[in-house]
Amino acid sequence: MPSRSNFIDGEWIDAESGDTFDTHDPANPDAVVGTYAQSGAVDAERAIEAALVASDEWADTPGPQRGRILSRASRVLAERKEELTELLVREEGKTQPEAAGEVQRAIDIFDYYGAKARDVGGTVKGASGPDTTLRTKTEPLGVAGLITPWNYPIAIPTWKIAPALAAGNAAVIKPATLAPGCTYEIAEALAEAGLPEGVLNVVTGPGGEVGDTIASHPDVDAVSFTGSTGVGNAVYDTATEDGKRVQLEMGGKNPIVVSDTADVAEAASIVAGGAFGVTGQACTATSRAIVYEDVYDEFVDAVVAEAEGIEPGNGLEGGEMGPQVSASELEGTLDYVTVGKQEGATLETGGDALDRDGHFVEPTVFADVDADSRIAQEEIFGPVLSVIPVGGYHEALAVANGVEYGLSAGIVTDDHTEANRFVDDIEAGVVKVNEKTTGVELHVPFGGMKASSSETYREQGEAGIDFYSITKTVYDNY
């Protein structure tokens, strides 16, 4: 069982209060997985000071040298993949294949940004007059404050930390208190890879103290947040008061449109994968299936069969869908099941907590859902799918766009024209054709529209480095 203090300026330091908190296995809530520092504002300020002191030297470190450290960290994580996978399963609840895939993603992200760090610097352009060099010079912002959620406890911290460091920034990260263990493993891997002291600092504790301090501190130059829309908007208001650069990735209510040209069995498999994979605990999870009436009944039967074929269970014991991360998350999902019944939707399958240890719930499908109902409008963050009948493309598009969110969306169709129309018309930052709404590539931009994002900067790929960088334009008349 790991016991972790804060990681500040290359040292393990207890919280000023001396208090700690425990994390628990969602599949076995009586089992303590780790003990961590219950930090406050003083601890966050100490971490920010360490990052500020380290920032100039790290900014002056050549990009290829920074990249080599990130690449070495990738190799360290790869050597520890098995133990990291087990930690992720025990602390967050994913199945073993899901956790292993997430750990591999973190390995690949560090490898990617290790290479991309060589390209950070600027470009040369042709000048209009003679005897003049025209170029750009890319520089880091300084200190980045990173606030991450529990649902992807190694991938999301990695895709914030790696581009921030590649661009030459120092960083302070506050991982979610439900699953902070993997973030400390990242810090250890980077330290072993040669990252200078103070360049990355990890502080655990409540968002109201640690997160607010990071968002408001005058020595933090940029804030990157992933989490709920309500908290994200509060972070944005706090961070922008003194002009910080801010990046938010927040909630989703993601649709898949199922056309009457689709292979229904394939469509049901795609939808079920997006709805019930990672226990529906993803901002990109498929929450709404918007289905043409001609194939509606057949689709409902097929997706119900998919749901009923999933066996929830402990991820380390072969479970096909893990538990929800906490009792409160399970309670929230069950509350929405009650809402769906009260709203008149048809509960086709699932909807109950499982009578066993752990925060397990059945994969749940509601049919005949009103597009304006709460279960079709509000983010549930659990394995609950709403199936909505529509008359055709235009109604499907109106329903798909008729929510406050715009993160991920998909269409299953054999009509190429229809697919391209959907790509043009949908209000979402990630668009999938004949694929589930979850799962994204690491080398292309990721982000949403509307209430799913600040719509400022994208994450991942080259866009990730752009957020943590600022550009000077240099005119050199020689």
Each residue's pLDDT tens digit, 156-166: 999 999 999 99
> What are the tokens at 119?
């390209």
Provide the terminal-to-terminal Cα distance of the chain, rounded to the nearest Å: 63
pLDDT in tens, 382-396: 999 999 999 999 999
Strand, helix or coil at 144?
strand
Chain position carrying tokens 């399958």: 349
- Domain borders along the chain are 3-250+453-477, 254-433
Angstrom distances, CA of residue 315 to CA of 62, 96, 466: 42, 5, 37
> Do the Cβ atoms of 329 and 149 come closer than 8 Å?
no
**pLDDT-derived band of residue 105, with 50, 70 and 90 as boundaries?**
very high
> Do the Cβ atoms of 296 and 348 come closer than 8 Å?
no
Contacts of 17 (CB under 8 A, 6+ apart): 38, 39, 40
Global pTM reads 0.96
CA 289 to chain centre: 22
Chain position carrying tokens 């959620």: 149
CATH class for the region spanning 3-250+453-477: alpha beta
pLDDT of residue 226: 97
**pLDDT-derived band of residue 266, with 50, 70 and 90 as boundaries?**
very high
> Do the Cβ atoms of 97 and 278 come closer than 8 Å?
no
> What are the tokens at 90?
């025990």
pLDDT in tens, 192-220: 999 999 999 999 999 999 999 999 999 99
At residue 100, does pLDDT exceed 60?
yes
**pLDDT-derived band of residue 2, with 50, 70 and 90 as boundaries?**
low
Strands ordered across the beta sheet of 11-13: 11-13, 6-8, 200-202, 170-174, 143-147, 222-226, 245-249
- Number of residues in the chain: 478
Strand, helix or coil at 268?
helix
**189 φ, ψ to 5°?**
-65, -40
Would you say the C-alpha torsion 154, 332, 290, 372 has a positive or negative sign? negative
Which spans in 343-412 are helix H? 374-377, 393-401
> Do the Cβ atoms of 410 and 287 come closer than 8 Å?
no
Percent of the chain scoring above 90 in pLDDT: 98
Q: How far is 449 from 28, CA to CA, in rounded Å? A: 37
pLDDT of residue 1: 53
Q: Which residues are catalytic?
A: 249
CATH of domain 254-433: 3.40.309.10
**Mean pLDDT, the chain, as a whole number?**
97
- Give 399-455 as a DSSP string: HHH-SSEESEEEEE-S-HHHHHHHHHH---SEEEESS-SS---TTS-B--EETTB-S
- Give 282-314 as a DSSP string: STT-EEEEEEEGGGHHHHHHHHHHHHHT--B--
Question: Cβ atoms within 10 A of the Cβ of 196, count?
Answer: 16
